Structure 1
Amino acid sequence: MSEPDPVISPSPAVRGGRLRVPAGPVHELLAPRETALGGSTVVRRLLPNLGRRMVGAWCFVDHYGPDDIADEPGMQVPPHPHIGLQTVSWLHDGEVLHRDSLGSLATVRPRELGLMTSGRAISHSEESPRDHARLLHGAQLWTALPDAHRHTAPTFEHHADLPEISATGLHGTVILGSMDGATSPGRTFTPLVGVDLTLTEGTSTAPPLEPDFEYAVLTMSGLTEVDGVRLDPGSMLYLGSGRRELPLRALADGSLLLLGGEPFEEKIVMWWNFIGRTDADIRQAREEWMTGTRFGEVHGYDGGRLAAPQLPRLPLKPRGRAR
């Protein structure tokens, strides 16, 4: 979920369109900002970023951990709403217990896909189980739904077995989309890809890419050179488009997330946990969450639900996908 940033208030933005999408390869390092998220979890927010707000349909990326939560409650995110997007839960360590207003109950474990399509409306909670592992490490990601599908019926998918790719010193798990002949069972609504790549120290390799996609890489752990740029854990490099392969070199054992997709054509308004197309979309969704309509109920979470932050007085106005 998205919580109001402690420094930057939850400001609206219109994101999308091909304008200002680099027509060729670039190196653009995206600096994270830290924010608290439920219980003892502190996340590093990489999208939306002050410099760039989307990579394909990917519009939100939080990286957290590895955190030692042996004596902590771990992640505790109360019930909250979503419209117009998909959430992707991805773990390297620990477990996240998912509950939603459809009645879904699932424990997502490392390198399993928890994929929630909010469509017209859903609410859910995320928490570390009472008896949880010592470490918690993962990423929470969103993709924006195109206008033709943003009012679709909400669904939740849990895929414990995902397709894999391999090469000397490289192992990959395809989270969404396709790579090198392997295709994830997760449902997507725009051309995109998400792959978890693990490299052993000393490996040099170059997995294939789609030249029409734009890409970014998030380092989850270890030290890696991505197209000659050294990335420390928790950093993200935007790569632009026009690439047919991605040169990687592992300076130590490590892993990274490769995210990409066709540049998202549409303009979207993103505020708090909502993605719409107009100011009215967002204001209506907030009102219906606060009055207890449309989003259903999450049963089984020990605690109340989140209240939405206050909307700005002025109408939500467009901003570009990059500054």
Structure 2
Amino acid sequence: MIRLKKRILTILSISMFALLLIGLSTGPWSQMLPFGSVFNTEQEVDGPSQDDRSGVSFEDRNLSGEFHRLDEITNAIQAQEPDQEDDGIIPASIEIPAIDVKAEIEPVGILDNGQMGVPSEAEGVAWFEPGANPGEIGNAVMAGHVDSTTGPAIFFDLDELESGDEIIITDEDDRSFIFTVQNQESYPHENAPMENIFGTSETRNLNLITCTGTFNQEEGTHDERLVVYTELNEAQSDIEQKNDSSNPPDSPTNVEVDGSFITWHAVDEEDIVGYRVYQGDSIEESEFEHVESVSPHERKRSPANHGDSTDSIYYVTAVDVYGQESDPSELIQIER
């Protein structure tokens, strides 16, 4: 195992869940109480080896025979991808379609009494910033109020989530990670598995916390805490977005005739492995034939002398390492 110094949480001691009240409460519409615990936020631990990480998955489309720089470009992207995944994102908003939740996220830390901070507003969600970022390996933790002094709050319906429901976390650059609900558990507020909630993990998790159970007037808090455990859906999140056929590369532009050659401008995307040139006999013809492949390091041109036709129509497409092909460029006609 490679030893990685990561900003993760190791539980030093587990104290009572509800030691801090956000405000006085006189009835069941009380505000949520935070989990109470003390953490060491800097500790060197064993992390997953490079081989354990899930890197980019490239489909075998026989591209290596067509574009001979495929291996070089693929290796470069694979070398970058784990770092992007490990960093996660700084969350800005949360959406839970199944229970109609949309809210901004505010970062919180550890209070003077050793407990996790809570949202400043009943309709806000707090992210435990000293812990994991959503999307990186570990347990990212967010908390929301179940109710307030005036009625239901943002996580009032959190207990209605079921396995397979989605939680969408988005950063300020509109990069989104989608987490899928695995299960939910309720714990007595004085006794919960803090290591499972805040501790280390080999997967990319997001744990959502709120109050549940019966409101205890004497103690001024609910008697249980609800934790919804979710895991990153890598196939649907932005770290795997280029594997999605709905996101092909851009089309080549500025396709022109230069003497006896067809030329075009390169597509400015790092995962482009080459270009394909197609020929047809007329604009009305629906069938075009692939006549040449051009690697990205070669000059962006192709001889305009394929076949015996006196007149020909051409277009060019871009191809990425995943085998995805762009839409055709503009058509260009060659008259001989």
TM-score (norm 1): 0.23
Higher Cα Rg: structure 1 or 2?
Answer: 2
Compute the TM-score of the two structures, normalised by the length of structure 2. Answer: 0.23
Q: Which structure carries more strand by proportion?
A: 1
In terms of fraction of residues, the more helix-rich structure is: 2
